[in-house]
Amino acid sequence: MHSNKFYGGWLISVLLLSLGLIGCPKQSPTGMTYGTTSSTGSGTSGMDETEIGEGDRIQDRVQQDGEGGPLQDVFFSYDSFELSEEARQTLQANADWLQSNAEAKVEIEGHCDERGTSEYNLALGAKRARAAQDYLTTLGVPAERLSVISYGEELPQCTDANESCWQRNRRGHFSVLR
């Protein structure tokens, strides 16, 4: 009898701890700014050129490339992490930018559409991000400059329930970290 009370208390403790760890889904950083623009428009907040670090220069270049940044998303077929020929071409262009910006570090986000379980989509998103990372390394981008994360279905670009929308959500997204 004593062990049943112990087991019940232990089980409740584990459940409460699990709920506390799950928390809310992680949100993507939106509206990130990559630097401030001074009145002179230099993007350096009035700093002398000798005070600007490599990260500041990359952030200025990212800002100049517009909302989507310098790196383009790659898209995947339903229930797949295989790179299409179009995805390989996009990754080649991304690799070219990364090679000309050798100090840049990038996080590759794996995303899925809403179909499938959360667990399955997290695993598939990770495979998609790793597929993009692996291909970039074969193109000469050092692996230590690339990190991966999976958001599964949690951060959709589109929320309509149709193939056109789902196709936009099945992607590898690139975020320049510095």
Q: Are residues 152 and 133 in the same domain?
A: yes
Q: Are residues 74 and 121 in the same domain?
A: yes
Residue-level pLDDT at 47: 34
Structurally, the chain folds into a number of domains equal to 2
Residue 18 placed within a domain: no
Mean pLDDT value of segment 130-155: 97
Residue 16 placed within a domain: no
Residue-level pLDDT at 69: 72
Q: Are residues 43 and 130 in the same domain?
A: no
Q: Are residues 49 and 124 in the same domain?
A: no
Across 3-27, b (16+ Cβ under 10 Å) vs e yields eeeeeeeeeeeeeeeeeeeeeeeee
The contacts of residue 124 (CB under 8 Å, 6+ apart) are: 79, 81, 110, 112, 116, 150, 152
Last residue within a domain, chosen from 45, 64, 83: 64
The contacts of residue 1 (CB under 8 Å, 6+ apart) are: none
Residue 4 placed within a domain: no
Q: Are residues 39 and 83 in the same domain?
A: no
The contacts of residue 148 (CB under 8 Å, 6+ apart) are: 107, 108, 109, 110, 126, 129, 130, 132, 133
Range of the domain at 59: 35-64
pLDDT at 65 over 80: no
Q: Are residues 53 and 127 in the same domain?
A: no
Q: Are residues 55 and 84 in the same domain?
A: no
Mean pLDDT value of segment 23-48: 32
How confident is residue 117, by pLDDT bands cut at 50, 70 and 90?
very high
Quick one: which of 123, 116, 113, 178 has its CA closest to 145?
178
pLDDT at 133 over 80: yes
Does 168 or 65 have the greater pLDDT score? 168
Q: Are residues 168 and 90 in the same domain?
A: yes
